[in-house]
Amino acid sequence: MQGYVVHEKLTSQLALELSAPAFQTILEHLSSIQATLVFGLIEACHGKLHNTAVVVRQGELLGCYRKTKLLPGEGVFEAGNEYPIFDVSNVKFGINICYDMNFSECARAVAEQGAQLLICPSNNMMRYDTAERWKNKHNISRSQRAVESGLYILSAGVTGERDGRISYGPTALINPRGEVVAQVPLLQEGMIIQEIMA
């Protein structure tokens, strides 16, 4: 929500406490939206900063997930250590954030709690040469996680160019057989709507 910021001073200034009035105001603005929302933010909690995804339904905070696997450049954040499960409209789901998807134990921790779906918000903004090498690999690694865990995997990735970097996405849904069943075209903004078999 505040962008992906890993500079200690600026990250601290942008961070939100989930119990603070500022975040409660955000929840109030989201109260008319019927869909369940999962979105990322920089969270401040007890003097520590987290790369966090929150789950919100009709303006109510259902809970949050804190990224457990941090990249070397993410030293400003404290890693999370829990994999909460959410049950909304009879769909049980968990969350992994971006780099978490490179580790089978992160998806497995969600699957072992009886979830059917794993949601993966991502920011794959990379230098051009790196992004070009990786643009078709994200779905490959996520497909491996889907097959290993037996979960549907829904990824939502940023896209576009900024400051000499580019992100192709992808925003995609992968079934438990590792097949991409729906995807927004690379480098395009968009949304997918797909029914899953729970």
Segment 16-50, tens digit of pLDDT: 999 999 999 999 999 999 999 999 999 999 999 99
Q: For the segment 136-168, what is each residue's pLDDT rounded down to a tens digit?
A: 999 999 999 999 999 999 999 999 999 899 999
pLDDT at 198 over 90: no
pLDDT at 7 over 90: no
Region 105-110: what's the mean pLDDT? 98
pLDDT, position 42: 97
Region 78-96: what's the mean pLDDT? 96
Question: How many other C-beta atoms are found inside a 10 Å radius of the C-beta of residue 138?
Answer: 21
pLDDT, position 5: 86
Region 118-128: what's the mean pLDDT? 95
Nearest partner of 125 among 92, 168, 71, judged by Cα: 168
pLDDT at 2 over 90: no
- Counting residues of the chain whose pLDDT is more than 70, the rounded percentage is 99
* Burial class of residue 80 (count of CB atoms within 10 Å of its CB; 0-12, 13-18, 19+): buried
Distance CA 175, CA 171 (A): 14
Do β-strands 48-57 and 152-157 pair in parallel, antiparallel, or remain unpaired? Answer: unpaired
Region 178-195: what's the mean pLDDT? 95
pLDDT, position 167: 95
- pTM of this structure: 0.94
Cβ proximity of 74 and 11 under 8 Å? no
What lies within 8 Å, CB to CB, of 96 at 6+ separation is 65, 106, 107, 110, 118, 119, 120
Region 85-97: what's the mean pLDDT? 96
